[in-house]
Structure 1
C-alpha cells in the first residue's frame, strides 16, 4: 500500500507543478495596467449587489466579477479584504455611487479577460458564472436569481447587504400607485428562482389620457359597473386589470401603458346601473382580477 502511494507521488507533484506554471503564465499574459490605472479610490457603488466575499485579494475579486456574467463592477474594502460583486455600474445609478473611505471601485470592462483563462470564452448564461477546471475546462454554475424588475416593482427599499445572488435576500417594494401586500422580502433560492412575499395591486381612481392606461380599445357597456366590466373582460380572454370610466366605458389590460397618477373625480354613475360609480371624464377606476 505504501509503495502504491509512493508511485503516485511523482504524478501528483507533476500535476501541482503544471497548475502552478499555468497560473504564473496566466498572470504574465494578462495585462493588468489598464485596470489599475482606472481604479476609483475612495468610492463605492451601493445597493446593487450580486454577492459578497470575505478574505480574498483585490485581483481575486476582479476575477470573480469576470467569471460572473451579470457582474458589471466591483467594490473592494482593503482593510478587511472584502469584495462586493455588483450587477450595475456607476453610470447607470450615479446617486448610489458614493465617496467611501477605504473602498475601491472598478468596472468589469477595465480588466483583461485573460485573467480568467478558459472562462474568457465560456458560453455560460446570464444568470451563471464560470468555474474553471483543470486542463482548460470549465463548468457553469448558477450565480443569481436575476434582478426582480417589472412594471410593479421598485428597488427603492433595497438595504445595504441585499443581493440577487444564490441564498441572498432583497427588500423590494411597489411603485407609487400600487398597493403593497406582503413584507416585500425576496429570497434567492438555490434553484435560481425567487421566493417572493410581495403582491402589488393596482386599484383606485386614476387620471387617464389619450394614450389610455390599460388599452386603446373602448368597450361601451350598458349596464356598466365593476362586475359587468369584469365579466366582459373575462369573456374576452385572460387579463390582469380591468377598469371603468366615464359612466359607460370598460377597459381590459395586462399591463399599464404608463404609470398613472392617482386622482379624484371617479364619481360618475354607471350607465344603466346608477347604484355604482364608474369613473368620470378622463378618470378611470381600476381593479385587479
Structure 2
C-alpha cells in the first residue's frame, strides 16, 4: 500500500511541477507597458492577472488580454497582436498577454471544452462543465 501511495505522490508532484513551469512561461511572456486596442471582447473587474488569464482560456473567442494593475481590471480581446489591424500600444500601467502563453490546465475540466466561439466553459459541481453563451454576448443579444 505504501508503494502505491508513493507512486501517486510522485504523479501529483510531477503534475504540479509541469503546471508551475507553464505558469512561469505565462508570467515570463507578459508584455509590460503594452495594451492592445480596438478588439475588446469584455471587461472584468477585481481579478488578478492569473484570473484574467483563466477567463481568457475558458472563452474560445478570446485570443489575448490586457490587465491594468492599478485598477485591478481585465480586458479580454478577440484578437492577438499579430492577427489584429489595431495597435499594440505603449501604455504605462498596463500588461498585455497572449492566450497561447498560458496552460489550459488552469481551467480544470475546461481544458478540452467543445464550446463554440460565442460560448464560455463553466465548471460545475461533481467534475462536470458546460458551455454557456458568454455574458458579453448575452448583453449584445438583449439590446
Normalising by the smaller structure, the TM-score range is: 0.7 to 0.9
Tell me, yes or no, if structure 1 residue 118 matches structure 2 residue 109: yes
Q: How far did residue 95 of structure 1 move? A: 4.1
**Structure 2 unaligned residues grouped into runs of 5+:** 1-12
Tell me, yes or no, if structure 1 residue 109 matches structure 2 residue 100: yes
SS of the residue corresponding to residue 32 of structure 1 reads helix
Tell me, yes or no, if structure 1 residue 166 matches structure 2 residue 138: yes
- When normalised by structure 2's length, the TM-score is 0.81
Distance (whole Å) between structure 2 residues aligned to residue 62 and residue 76 of structure 1: 9
Which residue is equivalent to 2:6?
none
**Structure 1 unaligned residues grouped into runs of 5+:** 1-24, 145-163, 168-187, 196-289
8 Å contact from structure 2 (residues 37, 86) kept in 1:
no
The correspondence for 2:82, drawn from 78, 85, 91, is: 91
Q: Which has the higher contact order (CA 8 A, sep 6+)?
A: 2
Greater share of helix: 2
Matches within 5 A, 1:162-201: 165-167=137-139, 188-190=140-142
Q: How far did residue 49 of structure 1 move? A: 0.9
8 Å contact from structure 2 (residues 39, 86) kept in 1:
no
Q: How far did residue 94 of structure 1 move? A: 5.5
Distance (whole Å) between structure 2 residues aligned to residue 166 and residue 82 of structure 1: 21
Which residue is equivalent to 2:34?
43
SS of the residue corresponding to residue 57 of structure 2 reads helix
- CA RMSD in angstroms comes to 1.9
Distance (whole Å) between structure 2 residues aligned to residue 57 and residue 91 of structure 1: 25
Distance (whole Å) between structure 2 residues aligned to residue 125 and residue 95 of structure 1: 24
Q: How far did residue 58 of structure 1 move? A: 0.7
Which residue is equivalent to 2:8?
none
Q: Cα gap change, 1:64/1:82 in structure 2, threshold over 3 Å: closer, same or farther?
A: same
Q: How far did residue 165 of structure 1 move? A: 3.6
The correspondence for 2:70, drawn from 79, 100, 103, is: 79
Structure 1 runs of 4+ with >3 Å offset: none
From the CA coordinates, give the structure whose radius of gyration is larger. 1
Q: Cα gap change, 1:95/1:87 in structure 2, threshold over 3 Å: closer, same or farther?
A: closer
- When normalised by structure 1's length, the TM-score is 0.41
